[in-house]
Amino acid sequence: MSLLSNIVGFSLFGLAARVGQLGIQKRPLFENPMGHAIAMGTFGFAGYWAYHWDQRAAVLLATKRAEIAERRGKADGTAAST
């Protein structure tokens, strides 16, 4: 998933959360549009952070998998030579 779609998706979820919050409180939805912008910005930043966290985790997992495969290869080579 691309960075832009991740940020937009989280921002729309933030907007939905804000609208849901106002609906529960039975307040007008368009009374304070700045609250919508703040919710969307906050959730958008969370989406930005989640994207980069996912990318970093993928790199760490690939590194760890390579290390495990290397250790298994050495263990198989040692077992086959004895």
Q: How confident is the model over 42-56, as pLDDT tens digits? A: 999 999 999 999 999
Q: What is the mean pLDDT of residues 16-35?
A: 94
Helix, strand counts (H, E) of the chain: 2, 0
Give the largest Cα separation in the chain, rounded. Answer: 78
Which residue shows structure tokens 């919710």?
39
Amino acid at 43: F
Q: What is the mean pLDDT of residues 30-34?
A: 92
Identify the band that residue 7 occupies on the pLDDT scale cut at 50, 70 and 90: very high
The whole domain housing 70 covers: 3-81
Q: Residue 5 burial (CB < 10 Å; 0-12/13-18/19+)?
A: exposed
How many domains would you assign to the chain? 1
